[in-house]
C-alpha cells in the first residue's frame, strides 16, 4: 500500500489514498469539493521503494478534496493561584478542516 508523510499546519501526517484527515485550518475560502494540494511531502513509500526528502521531496505532491470546516470541542483554559483570589477561566474552540486524500504523486 502506498503512503506518504506530509507536513501542514506545523504538524506531520501519514496519509494514504482514501484517508480522511482533520488538519489545521488553511488560509483562504474553500467550499466542499475544492481540491487542495499539499506540496510539502517528507516521505513517499510505494511498497517497494522509499523516497525520503531533504527535507521535502522535489516534485512530489498529495492531492486532497476539502470536505468540511468546523470547530473542535470547547477546551477550558484555567489560570489559578491559591490564597490570592486569582482565577481566570477562558474557553477556546480550535478551527479545523476535514480533507479526503485522493492521490499521491
* Total residue count of the chain as it appears in this document: 105
Report DSSP state, residue 48. Answer: S
Mean pLDDT of 84-94: 97
pLDDT tier, 94 (very low <50, low <70, confident <90, very high otherwise)? very high
Per-residue pLDDT tens over the stretch 23-76: 999 999 999 999 999 999 999 999 899 999 999 999 999 999 999 999 999 999
Q: Provide the pLDDT for residue 80.
A: 98
Output the pTM of the full model.
0.84
Q: Where are the domains of the chain?
A: 3-104
Sign, Cα dihedral of 45, 48, 53, 57: negative
Q: Provide the pLDDT for residue 71.
A: 97
Q: Provide the pLDDT for residue 1.
A: 82
Report the distance separating Cα 104 and Cα 87, nearest Å: 49
Amino acid at each position: 500500500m502506498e503512503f506518504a508523510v506530509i507536513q501542514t499546519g506545523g504538524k506531520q501526517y501519514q496519509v494514504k489514498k482514501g484517508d480522511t484527515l482533520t488538519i489545521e485550518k488553511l488560509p483562504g475560502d474553500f467550499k466542499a469539493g475544492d481540491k487542495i494540494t499539499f506540496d510539502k511531502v517528507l516521505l513517499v513509500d510505494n511498497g517497494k521503494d522509499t523516497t525520503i526528502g531533504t527535507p521535502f521531496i522535489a516534485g512530489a505532491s498529495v492531492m486532497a478534496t476539502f470536505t468540511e470546516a468546523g470547530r473542535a470541542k470547547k477546551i477550558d483554559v484555567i489560570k489559578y493561584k491559591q490564597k490570592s483570589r486569582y482565577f481566570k477561566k477562558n474557553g477556546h474552540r480550535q478551527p479545523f478542516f476535514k480533507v479526503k486524500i485522493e492521490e499521491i504523486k
